[in-house]
Amino acid sequence: MEPVNPFAERVLDVVERIPPGKVMAYGDIAEYLGEGGPRQVGKVMSTWGGGVPWWRVVHADGTAAAPDHLRRCLDHWRDEGTPLRGERVDMRLARWDGRSADFQ
DNA sequence: GCAATGACTGGTA
DNA sequence: TTACCAGCCATTG
């Protein structure tokens, strides 16, 4: 088992803070934390992402992080009321900056 | 130290 | 939409 770094805990914490109906991109999380980069966030998610709502973390273009579980992502998104555009998330509406939880 | 790799991003075609 | 490229940062051999 890989050792959990403080950076990983921050990433997981932010992911758990993402409100239903909202999503964040890898680059957004890295920028929000002010350290690392999208690749590092992706590595954290691939290693310890199993314990957090990883489906709320998507690519900058709104595509699902795990195409293997795309069906599962769509199911969660639709259940949480995430604005969708076909098989992708509508980032212009679903993008969460980490500041407002229920502020449309 | 260098090259390859990865749940990335943005731009261009 | 998909494909390719350059940039990006940490891990691994």
- Three-state SS string over A46-91 comes to HHHHHHCCHHHEECCCCCECCHHHHHHHHHHHHHHCCCEECCEECH
Nucleotide of closest approach to A91 (CA, C1'): B9
* Nearest protein residue to nucleotide B5, judged by CA and C1' positions: A39
Beta strands A57-58 and A24-25 are: parallel
* Model pLDDT for residues A72-91, shown as the tens digit of each residue: 899 999 999 999 988 899 99
Q: Is the CB of A21 under 7 A from strand B?
A: no
Query: In CATH, what class is A6-93?
Result: mainly alpha
CA of A2 to C1' of C10 (A): 14
Per-residue tokens: A72: 């599962």
Per-residue tokens: A83: 């604005």
3-class secondary structure, A35: coil
Nucleotide of closest approach to A37 (CA, C1'): C9
**Residue A98 pLDDT class (50, 70, 90 cuts):** confident
pLDDT recorded at residue A102: 55
pLDDT recorded at residue A67: 83
pLDDT recorded at residue A101: 60
Rounded Cα distance, A82 and A89, in Å:
7
Sign of CA dihedral A91, A66, A73, A71: positive
User: Where in chain A are the domains?
Assistant: 6-93
* Model pLDDT for residues A16-72, shown as the tens digit of each residue: 999 999 999 999 999 898 888 899 999 999 989 988 999 999 999 999 988 888 888
Chain B positions with any atom < 7 A from a protein CB: 6-10
* Model pLDDT for residues A38-50, shown as the tens digit of each residue: 999 999 999 899 8
